[in-house]
Each structure stands twice: as structure tokens, then as C-alpha cells.
């Protein structure tokens, strides 16, 4: 009788801790995805370290107004929103730029459940404000659990880019995730 009671107590504790173990496994998976993305980004773009990095992106000759190409500096590397089951990751999250600088932004949605799901009407919306203009955007599922969108914004004056991920209609795991990218023009 005492042995059965001990087994039931141990099983109860394990069942109670199961959500914690699943959350830890999810965070480890998300962390590994971010590390892979940083490594692939660093080989393609020069470097993405935690220190300040200044980038120069050349504008097409027809759009260039002066001989100097505007640059920008990444101040904060990423912002994360994880209010529901899915995770929104936006890189970079804070930038200081010269007027006219073109800034690449990477938006990643990590789904808790593989896509397509029964609530597949999810979407990512962009809301620029101030002197920020979205020049181009393209995105796709890179695997059943990850959607990546590449966005180019042009900064004429200080402003923000609000990124909103809306869960699919009727999804019981959340309604929206949102992150704001701050771009300061000096």
C-alpha cells in the first residue's frame, strides 16, 4: 500500500512538471534556431555580434543623391514577443541611422505547432510610422515550424516599424504577438 502511494506521488509530481519540461525544450529549440540564423547571417553580412555594428548598403545609382552612402548602426540585436504559443522574433530591434539609410530587418515566427494548421489564416503585418518607409518585403515558410520574412526599410527621419503577428482566426493558443523596431535618424 505504501509503495503504491509513493509511486502515485512520484507520477503526480512528474505530470505536474511536464509543462515545465516542454517549455524548457521549446526554449532550447528556439535558441538553437536563433544561433543557426545568426551564424548564417554572419557569413552573409559580415558580422552580427552583440557589440555595435555599422553597415553600409549601396543604393542603386539612379536613386543615389550624393556620393556618400548612408549607414546605420545596430544598437539592440533582437526583440521577442511570446505572449501566446508562437514566438515572434525581430532583428534588429533598435537602430541609429543616417538619413536615407536602407535597413534590412528579419522577422521570424516560430510556431509551436507545424504548419499548415487548422487555423492557417495567420499573417504578419507591418506598420511604419514617422519617416520610415517599407521598400520591400518577402517571406516564406522555411520549415513546418518557422516563417521568415525579410524587410527593407528606408529611414528618412526617426520613426518606428511595428511588426504584428496575428494568429489564425479561431486559434485557441493566442491572438497576436507584436514588436516595435525603433529607428533613430541622426
Burial zone of 122 (CB within 10 Å; 0-12 exposed, 13-18 middle, 19+ buried): buried
Per-residue pLDDT of the chain (186 residues; tens, 9 = 90+): 888 888 888 888 888 877 777 777 767 766 666 555 444 443 333 333 334 444 444 444 444 444 578 888 887 889 999 999 999 999 999 999 999 999 999 999 999 999 888 888 999 999 999 999 999 999 999 999 999 999 999 999 999 999 999 999 999 989 999 999 999 998
Full-model pTM: 0.64
Homologous superfamily of 52-185:
Immunoglobulins (2.60.40.10)
Give whole-number Cα distances, 81 to 46, 56, 111, 126, 163, in Å: 27, 29, 12, 15, 10
Q: Please tell me the distance from the alpha carbon of residue 184 to that of residue 96, in angstroms, as a whole number.
A: 5
Task: Report the chain's terminal Cα–Cα distance, integer Å.
Answer: 75
Amino acid at each position: 500500500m505504501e509503495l503504491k502511494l509513493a509511486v502515485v506521488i512520484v507520477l503526480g509530481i512528474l505530470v505536474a512538471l511536464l509543462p515545465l519540461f516542454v517549455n524548457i525544450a521549446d526554449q532550447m529549440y528556439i535558441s538553437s534556431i536563433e544561433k543557426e540564423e545568426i551564424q548564417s547571417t554572419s557569413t552573409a553580412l559580415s558580422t552580427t555580434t552583440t557589440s555595435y555594428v555599422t553597415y553600409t548598403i549601396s543604393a542603386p545609382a539612379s536613386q543615389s543623391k550624393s556620393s556618400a552612402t548612408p549607414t546605420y548602426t545596430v544598437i539592440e540585436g533582437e526583440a521577442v514577443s511570446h505572449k501566446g504559443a508562437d514566438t515572434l522574433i525581430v532583428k534588429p530591434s533598435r537602430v541609429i541611422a543616417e538619413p536615407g539609410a536602407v535597413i534590412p530587418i528579419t522577422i521570424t515566427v516560430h510556431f509551436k505547432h507545424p504548419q499548415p494548421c487548422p487555423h492557417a489564416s495567420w499573417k504578419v503585418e507591418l506598420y511604419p510610422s514617422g519617416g520610415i518607409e517599407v521598400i520591400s518585403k518577402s517571406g516564406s515558410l522555411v520549415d513546418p515550424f518557422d516563417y521568415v520574412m525579410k524587410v527593407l526599410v528606408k529611414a528618412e527621419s526617426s520613426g518606428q516599424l511595428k511588426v504584428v503577428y496575428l494568429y489564425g482566426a479561431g486559434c485557441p493558443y493566442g491572438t497576436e504577438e507584436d514588436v516595435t523596431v525603433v529607428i533613430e535618424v541622426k
